[in-house]
Amino acid sequence: MSALRLTGVRRAYGSGEAAVTALDGVSLDLATGSFTAVMGPSGSGKTTLLHCAAGLERPDSGLVEVNGEPMPGGSETRLTRFRRERIGFVFQQYNLLPTLTALQNATLPLTLAGKRVDRARAIALLEEVGLGDRLHHRPDQLSGGQRQRVAVARALVTAPSVVFADEPTGALDTRSARDVLALLRSAVDRHGRTVVMVTHDPVAASYADSVIFLADGRLDPAGELRRPSADAIAARLAHLGDQAVGTGV
């Protein structure tokens, strides 16, 4: 079963001389229960890919399908509803609301969607991310790693079809980063979630089942790396774009 399918997705910013093609016809198909890392040089289109796939931005052309359902066109309200029901997102800078407790932050997607908040389930989720004793703390009373674990719980609380994570470990120390990566891994292994994560770090990417590479808004034609070691990922990154550079080198 396909959790996320992109077909010929294009996205450009600006116009005329200043136009930048951030995504230049990206197609991919990710199975339910897979963990995929997206890597590539700065400016290669990783965040744009994540935002288009998650419905935070609309592609100029091409199709995004989540669980076989096309991302709706038309009103922003329909897109927001689609996103709320099917997608979880983890940001690099946590994006928690400072005045809410860990529990309130984690259940916010349900509150916003007008769904019943199953408090016991939300507490179980926070216990699972190791925050059973921090339920009523506010973000400023939590460490960076703990904040990101609240954000992971928030991303999982609606049981979404796909969880997107944009550099989720970028602001964390090594130990907290490992904890967050292990949580994403276990969301896939234990709960059958589908995770797509942008990262610059080959060690973080090695937690994924496969790594896809972007260069200049296109997927690397050499294809994905499956079950890769951090060393294999770093080696591939070093040579990314070699084919495109061509003869003059």
Nearer to ligand ATP, 137 or 200 (CB): 200
14 binds ligand ATP (CB under 6 A): yes
**Residue 54 beta carbon to ligand ATP: minimum distance, rounded to whole angstroms:** 13
Nearer to ligand ATP, 88 or 217 (CB): 217
Nearer to ligand ATP, 43 or 144 (CB): 43
Q: Are 173 and 145 in contact (CB under 8 A)?
A: yes
Nearer to ligand ATP, 12 or 108 (CB): 12
What is each CA distance from 24 to 11, 89, 226, in whole angstroms? 7, 23, 24
215 binds ligand ATP (CB under 6 A): no
Q: Which tokens sit at 64? A: 């995004």
Nearer to ligand ATP, 12 or 113 (CB): 12
Among 8, 20, 97, 174, binds ligand ATP (CB under 6 A): 20
199 binds ligand ATP (CB under 6 A): no
**Residue 16 beta carbon to ligand ATP: minimum distance, rounded to whole angstroms:** 13
| Rounded distance between C-alpha atoms, residue 98 and residue 150, angstroms | 12
68 binds ligand ATP (CB under 6 A): no
What is the four-CA torsion angle of 143, 97, 114, 81, rounded to 10 degrees?
Answer: -100
# chain residues binding ligand ATP, by CB under 6 A: 12
Contact range with ligand ATP by CB under 6 A, out of 37-45, 76-84, 138-146, 149-157: 37-45
Q: Which residues inside 42-61 make contact with ligand ATP, applying CB under 6 A?
A: 42-48
User: Which residues bind to ligand ATP, rule: CB under 6 A?
Assistant: 13-14, 20, 22, 40, 42-48
